[in-house]
Amino acid sequence: MSDFNEQKIPQQLASYYLTQTIVETISMRDQFAMAALTGLISRAPDFMFPDLPQKAYRFADAMLEARKEKK
């Protein structure tokens, strides 16, 4: 019997293409925002979730500025 599962193909394709896109286009700002978002999500009440991505990128921008000042 084959491991072929018709239902898994879209999921596998989506996973492959998302991974390829993310690996090719992720920036340091995005990485900082992901780290900030992780912390924000862990502490935010549900009603605050719509604002979290914008806040995460504000934290990322602040981290990038701090890096510039350090040099």
Q: What is the pLDDT of residues 7-39, one digit of tens each?
A: 666 676 667 666 665 556 788 999 999 999 998
> Is the CB of residue 52 less than 8 Å from the CB of residue 35?
no
27: domain range? 8-70
Question: 1 in a domain, yes or no?
Answer: no
In a domain? residue 2: no
pLDDT tens-digit readout, 34-46: 999 998 888 877 7
Whole-angstrom Cα distance, residue 45 to residue 43?
7
Domain count, the chain: 1
Whether 58 is in a domain gets the answer yes
